[in-house]
Amino acid sequence: MAQGRPGRSPNPLISHGRHFGRTVFVLCNYPSLLTNGILRLQQMEDTPLEDFAAENRSEEEILHVGELIGKGASGVRGDDTKSLKSAILDWISPKGAAIQPPLHRNSKIDRGFNHELTGSLLCPAGLDWHDMETRENLRSGESLVCGDPWPVFLYAHHTYDAEDPWCGLLRSRLLTCAYKHTSPTYIATQVRFALSSSSVFSRTDTSTDSEMFYHSLLDLFEDPDESKEVDELLTWWNRYGFPTSSAAKRPISANSALSKIQIKQLATKNAADSNVIVTSP
């Protein structure tokens, strides 16, 4: 039986870019990343930059490689954006009812603060969407929403507690639905964009300020003073996303090899602790 002509394999750098953009870092200047990486290697290995192979250090090659990786990252971001644009309407629809007035699946012009439902979800936490003046200021643009005032949809039950801003943060049903749909690391940024009226996802778009929003969440996760809350949040997501993993704290089967290893390890530790000699200062 004759087989069709096989399609061209994608450039490996584009494939790497798709992976990097979805699982590592979505909004990145890839030529700058590569240049800094080469300089870091030079410092770590104490190797002069001119000793690196020409293809690893020429500006033209760095730009070319960066463009290919960026193409892959942009492509996967576009795929997720297109997919979420329609799917998100199913998740925000009132139970047993249709969205009123209707929102179009293939157009975003009537989303954002232009619509009662998407506007209420995008309303910055701490503001009252039901306040007429607040709503009109958001719709007119008089109240400019940058990336760091986080929208209320990030919170469980879309409820923000000003006295405890960590309560329910990044635990909303909307985020979990989107996670099951695409599973990228930047899902909060994609959901925010899907609810907005902007038609093109861009790192430099000042109207959505997606880069600031993305980095503001990263800054929170990387803040050592918030490590306890971050660990609790990550544990919550591990239990949600991987219910059969060790994070779910499943009981260990009795008489299994793992249980015997742990029992032996505990006995060894207890014996070592009992042999510790305590001396007075």
Instruction: Determine how many CB atoms are found less than 10 A away from the CB of residue 246.
Output: 9
Name the strand (E) or helix (H) holding 193: helix 187-195
**Could you tell me the residue ranges of all domains in the chain?**
76-241
- Residues 170-229: pLDDT tens digits? 999 999 999 988 867 789 999 999 999 998 887 667 778 988 999 999 999 999 999 999
Q: What is the CA radius of gyration of the chain?
A: 25
- Which one, of 207, 208, 210, 233, lies nearest residue 220 by Cα? 233
Report residue 128: phi and psi, to 5°: -105, 105
- Residues 27-75: pLDDT tens digits? 777 777 777 777 777 777 665 555 555 544 577 787 888 888 878 777 7
Long-range contacts formed by 111-118: CB under 8 A, 24+ apart:
111/195, 111/196, 111/197, 112/195, 112/196, 112/197, 112/198, 113/138, 113/139, 113/197, 114/139, 114/197, 117/92, 118/92, 118/195, 118/196
Task: Indicate the range of 146-155, 158-167, 233-242, 267-276 predicted with least confidence.
Answer: 267-276
Using alpha carbons only, give the angle 133, 138, 143 rounded to the nearest 5 degrees.
Answer: 90
Q: Tokens standing for 90?
A: 């199913």
- Spatial distance between the Cα atoms of 194 and 81, rounded to a whole number of angstroms: 7
Instruction: Determine how many CB atoms are found less than 10 A away from the CB of residue 152.
Output: 19
Running DSSP on this structure, what letter comes out for residue 230?
A: H
